[in-house]
């Protein structure tokens, strides 16, 4: 992986698809169940490949924009359109209850564009017991 990614000097939105693939594979353990907030784009492509290859147990994406939901669904992944400022605590609780240690909350685009919102969601996820929240940059 390039020095920019390893050191956090590169923006997520500036990465190539190959760099996003590598970044997500490094951060997401095998046999995880993913809940992605602000799904779509390159992360949807990566998660689609990972699910197809059996690397992931499940994937559920959410976005406030139809474009992100459509991009995710184009990868044959489940995605739902949600309201802005959605309260995700219900989804976090359900993810943790069903998947336990395999639960992962992913927020790649959100953590770059709205870091304060991403930090709030990360706290909500951790408060219900989700141990792994993955993003770039880290939150």
Query: Can you give the residue ranges of every domain in the chain?
Result: 38-86, 94-139
The whole-model pTM stands at 0.90
Q: Grade residue 10 by pLDDT with cuts at 50, 70 and 90.
A: confident
* Residues 6 or more apart whose Cβ sits within 8 Å of residue 26: 1
CA angle 101, 104, 108 (to 5 degrees): 160
Distance separating alpha carbons of residues 112 and 110, to the nearest angstrom? 5
Q: What is the pLDDT of residues 48-65, one digit of tens each?
A: 999 999 999 999 999 999
pLDDT, tens only, 80-135: 999 988 889 999 999 999 999 999 999 999 999 999 999 999 999 999 999 999 99
- For residue 50, which of 85, 7, 78, 21 has the smallest C-alpha distance? 21
């Amino acid at each position: 992986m390039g020095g920019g990614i390893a050191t956090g000097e590169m923006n997520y939105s500036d990465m190539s698809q190959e760099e996003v693939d590598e970044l997500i594979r490094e951060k997401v353990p095998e046999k995880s169940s993913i809940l992605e907030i602000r799904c779509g784009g390159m992360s949807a492509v990566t998660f689609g490949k990972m699910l197809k290859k059996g690397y992931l147990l499940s994937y559920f994406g959410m976005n406030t924009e139809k474009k992100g939901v459509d991009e995710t669904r184009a990868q044959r992944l489940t995605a739902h359109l949600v309201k802005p400022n959605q309260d995700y605590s219900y989804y976090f609780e359900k993810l943790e209850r069903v998947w336990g240690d395999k639960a992962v909350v992913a927020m790649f685009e959100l953590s770059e564009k709205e870091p304060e919102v991403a930090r709030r969601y990360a706290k909500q996820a951790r408060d219900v017991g989700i141990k792994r929240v993955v993003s770039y940059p880290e939150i």
